[in-house]
Structure 1
Amino acid sequence: MKSTKSLFLAIALIMATSFAAFAQLQTPAASPAASVSQVVGFTKISIDYSSPAVKGRKIFGEIEKYGVTWRAGANAQTIIEFSTQVSVGGKTLRAGKYSIFMTPAESGEWTVHLNSKAASVFSYMKEGKIDEAAVAADDAVSFKVAPVMGGNTERLQYHISAENNKVAKVTMAWEKVAISFMVDTMVDQKMEGFKSAF
Structure 2
Amino acid sequence: MIKKFLTLLVVLVTYQFCIAQISLPPSGDNQKSIVTQYIGSIAHVTVTYHSVDVTSPQGKSRKGKIWGKLVPWGMMPNNFGTAKEIPWRAGSNENTTIEFSHDMTVQGQPIKAGKYGFHIIPKENGPWTLIFSNNASSWGSFFYDQKEDALRVETTPVESAYHEWLDYEFTERLPASATLALKWENLSIPMKIELPNEKQLYVATLKDELRSSLGFSWTNVVAAANYCLQNDIDLEQGLKWADNAIKFGATNFTTLSTKAQLLSKLGKTSEADKLMDQALNHPSATAFQIHAYARSLIAAGKKDKAFEVFKFNFEKNNKAWPTHFGMARGYSALGQFDKAIEHAKLSLQQAPDQANKDYVAGLIKKLKKKE
TM-score scaled to structure 1, two decimals? Answer: 0.75
Runs of at least 4 residues off by over 3 Å: 24-29, 191-198
What is residue 54 of structure 2 aligned with on the other side?
54
CA contact (8 A) 2:129 2:152 kept: yes
Q: CA RMSD in A?
A: 2.5
Q: Quick check: 1:166 aligned with 2:176?
A: yes
Q: d(CA) in 2 for partners of 1:110 and 1:190?
A: 32
Q: Quick check: 1:66 aligned with 2:73?
A: yes
What number of residue pairs does the alignment pair up? Answer: 167
Q: d(CA) in 1 for partners of 2:124 and 2:172?
A: 30
158, 161, 165: which one pairs with 1:151?
A: 161
Change (3 A) 1:25 1:168: closer
171, 176, 187: which one pairs with 2:186?
A: 176
Q: d(CA) in 2 for partners of 1:80 and 1:197?
A: 37
Structure 1 position 190, deviation (Å): 2.8
CA contact (8 A) 1:38 1:161 kept: no
Change (3 A) 1:188 1:161: farther
Select the structure of larger CA radius of gyration: 2
Which residue type is aligned with residue 43 of structure 2? T
Structure 1 position 30, deviation (Å): 1.6
What is residue 135 of structure 2 aligned with on the other side?
117
Which residue type is aligned with residue 38 of structure 1? Q
Structure 1 position 151, deviation (Å): 2.6
Structure 1 position 101, deviation (Å): 0.4
What is residue 80 of structure 1 aligned with on the other side?
98
1:98-143 CA-to-partner distances (Å, cap 9, x unmatched) read 1110011112211111112212135x52xxxx65xx2x32111111
CA contact (8 A) 1:40 1:162 kept: no
Q: Name the SS for the 1:121 alignment partner.
A: coil
Q: d(CA) in 2 for partners of 1:80 and 1:27?
A: 23
Q: Quick check: 1:190 aligned with 2:201?
A: yes
Change (3 A) 1:108 1:119: same
CA contact (8 A) 1:101 1:112 kept: yes
Which is strand-richer, 1 or 2? 1
Q: d(CA) in 2 for partners of 1:138 and 1:25?
A: 31
Which residue type is aligned with residue 169 of structure 1? T
What is residue 45 of structure 1 aligned with on the other side?
45
CA contact (8 A) 2:109 2:153 kept: no
119, 122, 128: which one pairs with 1:104?
A: 122
Which is helix-richer, 1 or 2? 2
Identity among equivalent positions (%) equals: 28
Q: Name the SS for the 1:71 alignment partner.
A: coil
Change (3 A) 1:94 1:70: same
Structure 1: gaps spanning 5 or more residues? 1-23
Which residue type is aligned with residue 182 of structure 1? K
CA contact (8 A) 1:39 1:162 kept: no
TM-score scaled to structure 2, two decimals? Answer: 0.41
What is residue 138 of structure 1 aligned with on the other side?
148
Q: d(CA) in 1 for partners of 2:172 and 2:156?
A: 21
CA contact (8 A) 1:115 1:140 kept: yes
Which residue type is aligned with residue 35 of structure 1? I
